[in-house]
Structure 1
Amino acid sequence: MINSLQDKDIKLLRMFHIIARAKSFATAAIELNISQSAISTRMAELETRIGSRLCERGHGHFKLTNRGKRVLKASEELFGALDNFITDIQEYDGEITGEFHIGLIDNSVTLDDPRIRNAISHFTRIAPLVSIKPFIGHSLELEKRVINEQLECAIGLFYHKSEQLIFDPLFDEEHLLYCSNSSDLFGIEDNRINRNLLKKTPYVSWDHSEKFSEWEPPYDFNIRTSSPFIEGIVYLILSGRYIGYLPTHYAEPWVRKNELRPIKPKITSRKIKFNLIRRKTSHTSRIMKHFIKTIEIQT
């Protein structure tokens, strides 16, 4: 039974928090970049310190015990109190310091909307002592890292809508259907491209963007493969063997060089909402509060 809290206990509790949110030792091992056996050893050590079993685990099975649920809730309150302590010290000193870990969806730097870069610029002026740590990834990876407290927030396209997150709408991103100049469709006028022709052409799905509830595919596409990364999509389209959706701002350099062209843009155009995501919590760090103020949230 823990009588006094040590640094090692806090580290073990943070590990337990990640395991509980992941609901899997295997998934948590990937997030923590350690082996499952190492997690098992540390989990057993924490349970010895607590004096009670915190979770039932086995092959493909994970469930918190009642004691585990109470420890999880108490650990969340502890982490919030620690964050509050740091914030109070910063406010007493009159300066904002520390690190700000923000996630950005891959290949979004060419966005026409300047809101993200303007927010970063403004934030660094009002909080020059804060070190911004950007992480680039696909949407599911960003969601997972925000939930597991590896990122304070993330900006991108998110379809999963986890109940553990707050979704603040920012702006729309337009996507069009593209083919390359080595595709059989490239030289065919839009009015001659019909459903049957599109159905015969292999289609590469952009995993997360194909699952948005507000988007209904205009055609019955011949899905042959998929990728969560825009760069993977464009490689396959440029091969001439596939058609697929790309953000217009990202495709523009290839369009200018006549290497890509949009297909039936009036019909295939779709707009997907960019959101800023952050954890639902009773405590929002001072750094996070300042960043939210610098970026224009749609209301």
Structure 2
Amino acid sequence: MKPSIPQISDVEISQLRVFRAVVTNGGFSAAQSELGLSRSTISGKMTELETRLGLSLCRRGRRGFSLSAEGQRIFEQTEDLFSALDNFRKQASELRGQMTGVLRLGVVDQLADHLDCHLDDALAAFGKTAPAVHIKLIVIPPNQIEQALLSGQIEAAVTPGAHHQNAIKSRALFREDIYLYCGDRHPFFDKSDKEISLNKIADTPYAQRDYYITMPYYAVFSRPASASAAQMEGLLHLILSGRYIGFLPSSLADPWVAKKRIKRIRADLMSYSVNMSLAYTEQALSLRMVRLFRKSVVDAHLRPAQ
């Protein structure tokens, strides 16, 4: 029977911070700049934590860094612990009439290109009202935002689509139009829409985001994607190569359409829209800073464009 673990002290909190940084950065060396510690010091603190817990948390060797099964469980609990500590600090500050701490905002990539996205105005207004709050903006793939909200890794997010969890609330901000595009080197580029049938589109190599997400029209294609990218800009590069067709938001594509580098394909059939929303949980909304940030975002998107 393993001995029980003593109550957590400041020493263990410090060791867990090191452990968390090592995991999120993917290894000891990568965590050095974030922690401001040498590799040997990080290794020593990890060994101390493993000894303290009586568990082997990770594997280190030629194949690189990886978590053990126990390490994965401890990491998940560590994330919950620091989220709870951060929430406690924020609530205590608000009780003293202060608004301090960190507001973690998740966003999807390429938002700045959209003319109807006024996140910059919202951030400016929030900064004037809550100057002591540190804003941490994190670019997150759409398929990871829901979990980030539920786990408390972020307080709010600007994200597309509906959410499947009742705990997540949202407020619509603006609409994003999505079209199918080809590059100027692609055989479709010099053809009219009448010459491009759905059967031809179905047999054409296409590129998509490199995570699974249900998207309209993917069922049209007769084969799996031939290329993928984590970000929208990566998709744009693949389309510009002329080897693939793919879906892009018009806000990103329009400048390249104007340059005659890409063009829309069968916009009458292969297009759709998504609502971009501010998403948050009821738990996050209990914080005054989150309520104030929501108001700043909503107000910025209600004002007519200048």
Q: Is TM > 0.5 for Structure 1 vs Structure 2?
A: yes
Counting strand residues as a fraction of each chain, which structure ranks higher? 1
1:231-270 maps to which residues of 2 (within 5 A)? 231-270=233-272
Task: Please list the CA deviations of residues 200-253 of structure 1 after superposition, one character each: whole Å capped at 9, or x if unmatched.
Answer: 321111234x6236x343622542111121111111111111110000111010
Residue-by-residue CA offset, 1:186-206 (whole Å, 9 max, x unaligned): 121112211332233211112
Conserved? CA contact 2:104–2:155, under 8 Å:
yes
- 1:80 is aligned with what amino acid? A
Q: Which moved more, 1:282-291 or 1:190-199?
A: 282-291
How many residues of Structure 1 are paired with residues of Structure 2 in the alignment? Answer: 281
Q: Give the SS at the match of 2:269.
A: helix
Q: Deviations over 1:21-59 (max 9, x none)?
A: xxxx9x666299559x9999767744655xx66799999
Q: 1:157 to 1:44 in 2, by over 3 A?
A: farther
Alignment match, 2:84: 80
Q: Answer yes or no: is the 8 Å Cα contact 2:180–2:245 preserved in 1.
A: yes
Q: How does 1:211-250 map to 2 (within 5 A)?
A: 211-212=213-214, 215-217=216-218, 219-220=220-221, 222=223, 223-250=225-252
Is 1:154 aligned with 2:157?
A: yes
Q: Does residue 5 in structure 1 map to residue 1 in structure 2? A: no
Q: 1:138 to 1:89 in 2, by over 3 A?
A: closer
* Bigger mean CA deviation after superposition, 144-153 or 270-279: 144-153
Closer/same/farther in 2, CA of residues 283 and 243 from structure 1, 3 Å limit: closer
8 Å CA contact retained: 1:173, 1:274: yes
* Alpha-carbon shift at residue 283 of structure 1 (Å): 8.0
| SS in structure 1 of the partner of residue 226 of structure 2 | strand
Question: SS at the partner of 1:295?
Answer: helix
Which residue number corresponds to residue 181 of structure 1?
Answer: 184
1:43/1:143 CA distance change after superposition, 3 Å = farther
Q: CA deviation at 1:284?
A: 4.3
Kept in 2, the 8 Å contact 1:55–1:62? The answer is no
* Deviation by residue 1:135-178 (Cα, 9 ceiling, x = unmatched): 3343356566656655433323478x686973525343211000
Inter-CA distance 221–248: structure 2 relative to 1 (3 Å threshold): farther
For the residues of structure 2 that align with 1:247 and 1:118, how far apart are their CA atoms?
22
1:22 alignment partner in structure 2: none
Aligned partner of residue 296 in structure 1, secondary structure: helix
Would the aligned equivalents of 1:179 and 1:185 in 2 still touch at CA under 8 Å? yes
Map of 1:118 onto structure 2: 121
Correspondent of 1:30 among 26, 30, 46: 26
Report deviation, 1:123.
0.9
Residue 132, structure 1, aligned to residue 139, structure 2: no
- 2: distance between equivalents of 1:207 and 1:82? 32
Partner of 2:202: 199
Unpaired stretches in structure 1, ≥5 consecutive residues = 20-24
Q: Which amino acid aligns with 1:187?
A: D
SS at match of 2:102: strand
Contact kept, 8 Å, 2:155 with 2:280, in 1: the verdict is: yes
Contact 2:102–2:133, Cα closer than 8 Å, also in 1: yes
TM-score normalised by length of structure 2 = 0.70
Deviates further, 193-202 or 148-157: 148-157
Which residue identity is paired with 1:211?
I
Secondary structure at the counterpart of residue 206 of structure 2: strand
Work out which of the residue numbers 73, 97, 106 in structure 1 matches 2:109.
106
Q: Residue type matched to 1:87 in 2?
A: Q
Mapped to 1, the partners of 2:57 and 2:89 lie a distance apart of 34
Gaps of 5+ in 2: 33-39, 60-65, 302-306
TM-score of the pair, normalised by structure 1: 0.71
Q: RMSD of the TM alignment (CA)?
A: 4.4
